[in-house]
Amino acid sequence: MKISPVTYTNHINTNKKSNNISTPDRVVYNVAGNNSPNFGRFIIDNIVHWGIKKMNQSKATQIEHQVREMRKQVLDDVGLLAAREGISREAVNKNFGDAIKTGGIPPKYDGKEVGLNKVVGYSLEKLEFLKRIVVPIMDTAKAKKTGIPSENPIKAPGGIILYGRSGSGKYFAAGSLLEHLNIKAQNENLPINTVHIKGEWWKGDTPENISALRNGFNEAEEKGQKGEHTVILIDRMNELFTAENSKALNKEFVEYTKDPVKDGFTWIGTVDDANDITQPFFNPQRTGLFVRFDKAKTEGESIALYQHFISQTNRECLFDQKYILDYTRDSEIPITPKKIKQIVKFADDELRMSEDYSTKSKGTYKAPIYNMQLMMGVDYVAKYNNNTVVKPVKNPVKMYIPRGLFVNDDNPFIENV
């Protein structure tokens, strides 16, 4: 900081003699001086502002380090799955190491994760996605591109159903999977195409719904004839089967998904209850993989998930993690990204109205987040948010759906049918 002297001027009247005649004259003398009261306040203000900035820089550095460590834990699916199953990291790497190396995307840890890295709290499901979906689709696309089948060909699954209660994160996971495949296709120049079919299925057999369904599958078949493998996402697929007057939609959908692998595509459907879907979809030729989404499977994953979103507020976290986690569970709120964001947003809004939340001149400060604000957020979400799932229309065919993720071959970490 540069300090300059403050000057002021004294006007002094003197009698100047000229030719022995005394005449009043005005002489100006410039005298260096110091306006000490104002200068002192200037120094103090700058010291305070400098201190605030240093405090914020220190807190920002601490929070940044804390957030990076949290994200490393959140994105360490091998470590999370090892803790979840009570096995070693080596055992997980033995089963999923090749899939991670081939189909994974290295985490960035900077809040701009892409693809499946954006999905947190589902370590097993993510690793199974890489092994059962990403790598097989990449392998299929490489064979189509080169015309040479791999030594150990793994066929891409014909159909995939993600099921679980509303708000569990299945649609987010499906969208992240499509993004993941697009990135892998771009980075490795693979003939992989993605299509997202949206419709107001609850309206039933409308011309718009039938047209949307036909256009999506026709595009996939055309791409397949050109040597591309297409991945189709059908949002809210269960509405195709539970909506009134949807016989035409059902017929179209069943017809298009007879043999998706042969036609060159993989379809993904999201449903709230797997009992909604009809008998034909349990044929492995049509549907090769079922994935159940509910909530984080272990306390370790739940805490990692919770901390991941708390860190987004860029605040110092002074709350009791286990207490808040138990309080959330006791309120019967599913620990999902959507609900956690709602809780944190409410807590952050409460802090904005507090006296400790302030913005200083030439510096900033954000109050830390404590148990009270988060508890109020949990109470708000539990009271004003509808966590119930609408009961689906009962089908005449009852199917037994096991809990968890399952496929049709042996795997020590998953349930088998």
106 closest CA partner among 180, 22, 195: 180
257 closest CA partner among 240, 275, 274: 240
Residue 383's pLDDT is: 84
Cα–Cα dist 270/289, whole Å? 12
- For tokens 């502002």, name the residue: 49
Cα–Cα dist 87/84, whole Å? 8
Cα–Cα dist 199/206, whole Å? 10
* pLDDT averaged over 10-residue windows placed end to end, the chain, 417 residues: 36 44 45 49 63 67 71 84 89 93 86 84 90 91 77 73 82 92 92 89 90 89 84 86 84 86 86 77 80 80 80 76 86 79 85 63 66 90 62 36 38 36
Q: What is the pTM of this model?
A: 0.71
Q: Which DSSP string corresponds to 188-239?
A: HT--EEEEEE---GGG-S-HHHHHHHHHHHHHHHHHHHTT-EEEEEETTTTH
148 closest CA partner among 138, 136, 140: 140
Task: Label residue 36 exposed, middle or buried (CB < 10 Å: 0-12, 13-18, 19+).
Answer: exposed
- For tokens 């991945």, name the residue: 231
Cα–Cα dist 332/372, whole Å? 18
136 closest CA partner among 82, 190, 79, 90: 190
296 closest CA partner among 120, 99, 110: 120
Token representation of residue 277: 């879907």
Q: Give kind and range of the element (H or E) at residue 26.
A: strand 21-32
Q: How crowded is residue 175: how many other Cβ atoms within 10 Å of its Cβ?
A: 18
Token representation of residue 251: 């017929």
Q: How crowded is residue 202: how many other Cβ atoms within 10 Å of its Cβ?
A: 14
C-alpha distances (whole Å) from 94 to each of 72, 155, 269 are 21, 21, 30
Domains in the chain (CATH in brackets) are 76-297+394-416 (3.40.50.300)
221 closest CA partner among 193, 252, 244, 199: 193
CA 181 from centre of chain: 17
**What are the residues facing 8 on neighbouring strands?**
31
